[in-house]
Structure 1
Amino acid sequence: MVKLGRTIKLRLYLDTIQAGEFLAMTQEYQRLANIVSQWVFDHDFPLSWLKINNHLYKKFRQESALNSQMVQSVFRTVVARYKTVQEQMKQHAYRYKATDNKWIQIPRDLTWLEKPIYFRRPQADLVRQSNYSFVNGMTQISITTLGKRTKLAFTNKGFEDYFQGDWKLGTGKLVHNQGKWFLHIGITKDITDFDKGNSPQIVGIDRGVRFLATAYDHLGKTTFFDGQKILLRRKKFLENRRRLQSKGSKSAKKKLKQLAQRENRWMADVNHRLAKTLVALYGSHTVFVLEDLTNVTFNTEDLPKSSRNSHRSWAFFQLEAFLTYKAQAVQSAVVKVSPAYTSQRCPKCGLIVKTNRHHDTHEYWCVQCQYRCNDDRLGAMNIEMLGHEWLSGVKRPKIQKLTTTG
């Protein structure tokens, strides 16, 4: 069994008094979180809730109006944030070019931080039953504020199904955004894990910009997901961004921030819909094979200037994350393989020659066996081939370079 996770977002409806109570409570939570963050930074990053609790709990209980459970939630919130940053630093090592023009990578950890993590927004993590609960036949929600609890109305539009069945509600995060209040609740459900011993189908997926995804399945069928409309809209975003940047005024900077948020929401929606379509198309018991793009720098020299920005900044990792959890929900899996030579290897004779791929015509043409096909399809074919190697027991499938078949 494996736990499937989701987040539901409930809109809360507060009166003026309740809004003031919520703001005071979340500001106090934010204040304590920054004190804890400073303490963690000053004491060599002890990421243990118990250690922080032993040193700061009594002090906070004497000084703060937050109840016992919420003080301990503050500790967990800070620890979780530092662990997230720690993992991000592990994944992105410090890189520099040495005198011999070789790239050197140095692992990073929390000691690289120059200052403690700062919590910029008022917030609060609420434990179910202790800090929030549903009352009056699920028509209201009761939430702890400073020294008391208050009841208010909410809407769960779009999330009704998650309040039924086997979903378990966990900690909720109180969020204040553009004058509105929301409660984001993490929920989990136990589902049957993916079983690779039962002959799953394998689908190789090549991610790109001209085609957002090119999928090649075990039957030899290729499905292209066109990205031309996406490119045009991204170009408009880029033009608007450059226009605002050239002004440099305070209002322009504000509009730049709003534009970035709107673009991010749009990109997330595109990736959500693409991941949902892939899972619906291939169904359960499928191995979706992707290239592992961690620490990969995209070469855009062969691309036209109008496409370089989109290629560098498209959210490839976001699509991977969305596909991973959507596949898990239907007992499928996402596997990552090495990207080395996936766009250069001939699937017929195995020859690897970089110049066989022609970016101007988006075609692959093998000089040895004369095999020709679309270059995005070729990448998906090679990725699908590596998926079969993973299924046969190879832990890290990778194409070995072959320059001639002899």
Structure 2
Amino acid sequence: MTIKTNKRAKYTYLTLQLLPTEKEREALQTTWNNYKEACNTFSRTKYWKLAREKHMDVSACKKEYLKSARALAQRLLHGVYEISIRHTVKMAYKRQESDKKLALIVFGEYDEKNIKHLTIPYLRKPTFNIDFAKKMCCLDLVDGFQHIAFTLLEGIPEPPASWEAIEVYLQPIYGTWYLTLMFPNPTANMDVSPDTNIVGIDRGEINIATTYSLDKGAKRYSAEDYSLPCEGGTKDDYHKNLFAKDVIVAKEIVERESPDTIFVLEDLHFNKLRKGWSYRNFSDAFIYLAALRHQCVFFCDPRNTSRTCPKCGEVTNTKRNRDEHRFICRSCGYGEKEIVNDDENAAENIYLRGRKELLKDDV
């Protein structure tokens, strides 16, 4: 049987660190500032329109005169950004409407509070070009095309020559500019059978990852065991260290398993950035490294994976001793006599949930 993997894993992402000159950095910053202003202006207009349709009080909301993304792009950037501005704002409000919580969305910098973290998406091929042989990228910025050098992050290999980026996303994080490339995932459709090696993975802050498979049992990858020396004390250094640890752990996990393995991860979403936990960086690096080894990632429903007993299936009548990081089931007593680590328990539940969805098992 061929699986149709989730939308989240249909694509794989590779993040590059840009190495701009002072002039190129200025062009990047001007483009970023103008794009942010355009998105926030368009966001206020979008909110005003949606609020009026829902008969909400909009007296305190100033109606913008620049109604269209085209007008904003022409005033602040140039015409090629019209689609990007419209896409960024519309997608943000679409997610919000699905939660039935309409509020004004404000776009801003990475790590700011009460804002939507912004990236600049380049959605059409003429606006970007990536040359891995020369380690140069070409981006359409506010003053025209700029050729900017880049480097791959440590531990991340180049993609195969047959892979072609279909979108790229630009973002500054603590003063460093990053470009994230999106590729179609070549392992998005894989054959699955009862003999397929399936591995459940729980992600967290104490343990970067905890894996579980029927053959190898559970294995924890503690954040303490992968601590890296931090040369400086800046947020930029800290962020790079977090990502470096994620890459090391992701690489160890995929190399521990055979090709054609299917990894199951929780489909996690957070409205606010979690301090000290780069969960999204881990999944991006993991999907990319797994795809290079012809391994597939499948995302499952994250609800109650930490609160479910894998033996009796009870959810509401369970408890976790967070001080000792133990899981104990009040219904069947699993974990009372033997010590069951709560992250290992979650990884086993993720494995069972993934196997059930992939093979339609009754486990």
TM range (shorter): 0.5 to 0.7
The 1:79/1:13 distance shift into structure 2, 3 A limit, reads same
1:357/1:363 contact within 8 Å kept: yes
The residue aligned with 1:375 is 340
The residue aligned with 1:56 is 68
How far the C-alpha of 1:333 sits from its partner, in A, is 3.4
Structure 2: how far apart are the matches of 1:186 and 1:353? 44
Gaps of 5+ in 2: 53-65, 111-117
The 1:68/1:280 distance shift into structure 2, 3 A limit, reads same
1:12/1:152 contact within 8 Å kept: no
The 1:284/1:35 distance shift into structure 2, 3 A limit, reads same
Structure 2: how far apart are the matches of 1:389 and 1:177? 39
Structure 1 residues 370-391: Cα deviation after superposition (integer angstroms, max 9, x where no partner): 9964412972556655555445
- 1:210-289 aligned at under 5 Å gives the runs 213-219=209-215, 221-226=217-222, 229=225, 263-289=238-264
The residue aligned with 1:72 is 83
Structure 1 residues 249-286: Cα deviation after superposition (integer angstroms, max 9, x where no partner): xxxxxx9xx76665554444434432332222123333
1:27/1:123 contact within 8 Å kept: no
For these two proteins, the number of residue pairs brought into alignment is 319
The residue aligned with 1:248 is none
Structure 2: how far apart are the matches of 1:293 and 1:20? 35
1:9 and 2:16 correspond: yes
The residue aligned with 2:55 is none
Q: Which of 290, 293, 296 is equivalent to 1:332?
A: 296
1:175/1:183 contact within 8 Å kept: yes
The residue aligned with 1:393 is 360
How far the C-alpha of 1:55 sits from its partner, in A, is 5.2
Structure 1 residues 326-365: Cα deviation after superposition (integer angstroms, max 9, x where no partner): 5455333345365376458479xx9x99699998696989
Question: C-alpha root-mean-square deviation of aligned residues, in Å?
Answer: 5.2
1:37 and 2:43 correspond: yes
Which letter does structure 1 place at the counterpart of 2:183?
Answer: T
The residue aligned with 1:82 is 93
The residue aligned with 2:166 is 170
Q: Which of 196, 202, 209 is equivalent to 2:198?
A: 202
How far the C-alpha of 1:318 sits from its partner, in A, is 4.4
The 1:22/1:313 distance shift into structure 2, 3 A limit, reads closer
Which letter does structure 2 place at the counterpart of 1:32?
Answer: A
Identity %: 16
How far the C-alpha of 1:42 sits from its partner, in A, is 0.8
Structure 2: how far apart are the matches of 1:15 and 1:358? 49
Which letter does structure 2 place at the counterpart of 1:331?
Answer: Q
Which letter does structure 1 place at the counterpart of 2:68?
Answer: L
Which letter does structure 1 place at the counterpart of 2:82?
Answer: V
The 1:170/1:10 distance shift into structure 2, 3 A limit, reads farther
The 1:375/1:292 distance shift into structure 2, 3 A limit, reads farther
Structure 1: how far apart are the matches of 2:325 and 2:89? 52
1:30/1:123 contact within 8 Å kept: no
Q: Secondary structure at the match of 1:169?
A: coil
Q: Secondary structure at the match of 1:8?
A: strand
Which letter does structure 1 place at the counterpart of 2:259?
Answer: S
Structure with the largest fraction of helix:
1
The residue aligned with 2:33 is 27
2:264/2:354 contact within 8 Å kept: yes
Larger Rg: 1
Structure 1: how far apart are the matches of 2:300 and 2:235? 29
How far the C-alpha of 1:200 sits from its partner, in A, is 0.8
Q: Secondary structure at the match of 2:341?
A: helix
Q: Which of 95, 100, 107 is equivalent to 1:118?
A: 107
1:4/1:188 contact within 8 Å kept: yes
2:174/2:236 contact within 8 Å kept: no
The 1:128/1:292 distance shift into structure 2, 3 A limit, reads closer
1:343/1:357 contact within 8 Å kept: no
How far the C-alpha of 1:40 sits from its partner, in A, is 0.7
How far the C-alpha of 1:126 sits from its partner, in A, is 4.2
* TM-score normalised to structure 2 length: 0.62
2:308/2:318 contact within 8 Å kept: no
Structure 1: how far apart are the matches of 2:224 and 2:150? 37
